[in-house]
Structure 1
Amino acid sequence: MDCVFCKIIAGQIPCDKVYENGAVLAFLDIAPISRGHVLVVPKLHFQDLAATPAETVSAMMDALQVIAPAVLRVTHAPAFNVGINNGAAAGQIVMHTHFHLIPRIDGDGLQSWPHQRYGPEESAGLAKDIAAALR
């Protein structure tokens, strides 16, 4: 397999590891958005979140809950974002499910997504369509 994260997990490519358990490896991003930016990666290869079993996603979230307080203590950041770029159109570069833990400080210059508003009919129709797709 030609997956850079699989190679990191296999020890073929070095990383700056911050956490590891039986299901998850977490390491510093080599192109961090902020100081302390950590990637939380399942040890088994799944291309995206939809392909990742619920128990693996749960293990990743459990790891985030352990890692985040330590990252905040070390970086002195008061807050953080957790994100996933799921698919190429969303900015996913490595096609192996992973979460980003990004420490944040006031005035760091990082921006969030712009907020938009729905019209009342659009919102109701979209919610109805999504709910129907879940059935």
Structure 2
Amino acid sequence: MQTDLALGAAIRPSPTEGCAACETQAFELCAACRRCRCHRHDGCERDLNCVFCRIASQEAPATVVRDWGDVLAIRPRGGVHPGHTLVMPCTHVSDAGTRPEVTARTMECAAALAAQLPAANIITSKGAAATQTVWHLHLHVVPRADGDGLPLPWTPQQTTEGTR
């Protein structure tokens, strides 16, 4: 891939230029790696079956709050509290323990958003036992206020049977 030295930005070929891997003309190229679908994204760091990768590739809709280039902040559907934001890397990483450097960068961006709030939770999960349901690293930034009534699973406010 070429780079514009003046801007330091990658120059992506247009879809009419063809696949970056096999040079065939392809109608539908991956927005992330510019390869045709026949290559199953060899070398691409995104997973077509992952909704967050599709959002990062602009192949699925999302309300983007902030875009750092390598990390996105989006509004979740049905957020748990006003201002609830998901912060996710554009690279496919399944959870916080898979690639610590990507997790650290994603946390840095989440912390930048939380710094603008008087109070917030930053939450992620690793593994099904920890309530992970989407297998793409993401952090929830949830604005908080005294008396907002939003319990965390391990607080005395939680009344589910079996809570310690």
> Same-fold call, TM > 0.5?
yes
2:97 aligned partner, one-letter code: A
Q: Which runs of 5+ in 2 are unaligned?
A: 1-47, 157-164
For these two proteins, the number of residue pairs brought into alignment is 108
Rounded Cα–Cα distance in structure 2 between residues aligned with 1:114 and 1:62: 26
What's the C-alpha RMSD, in Å, of the aligned pairs? 1.5
Residue 61 (structure 1) aligned to one of 107, 111, 117: 107
Alignment of 1:42-61 (within 5 A): 42-51=89-98, 53-61=99-107
Matched, 1:35 2:35: no
Rounded Cα–Cα distance in structure 1 between residues aligned with 2:119 and 2:150: 13
Alignment of 1:51-90 (within 5 A): 51=98, 53-70=99-116, 72=117, 78-90=118-130
Rounded Cα–Cα distance in structure 1 between residues aligned with 2:93 and 2:67: 18
Contact 2:53/2:90 (<8 A) preserved: yes
CA shift, 1:85, in A, is 1.8
The corresponding residue for 1:118 is none
CA shift, 1:67, in A, is 1.6
The corresponding residue for 2:131 is 91
> Larger radius of gyration, structure 1 or 2?
2
Rounded Cα–Cα distance in structure 2 between residues aligned with 1:108 and 1:69: 19
Matched, 1:5 2:45: no
Rounded Cα–Cα distance in structure 1 between residues aligned with 2:101 and 2:144: 28
Query: Structure 1 runs of 4+ off > 4 angstroms?
Result: none
> Percent of pairs identical after alignment?
39
Rounded Cα–Cα distance in structure 2 between residues aligned with 1:33 and 1:43: 23
The corresponding residue for 2:21 is none
Higher helix proportion: 1
CA shift, 1:86, in A, is 1.5
State the TM-score, normalized to the length of structure 2: 0.61
Flag the structure with more relative contact order, 1 or 2, with Cα contacts below 8 A and sequence separation at least 6: 1
Rounded Cα–Cα distance in structure 2 between residues aligned with 1:114 and 1:81: 13
The corresponding residue for 1:110 is 150
State the TM-score, normalized to the length of structure 1: 0.73
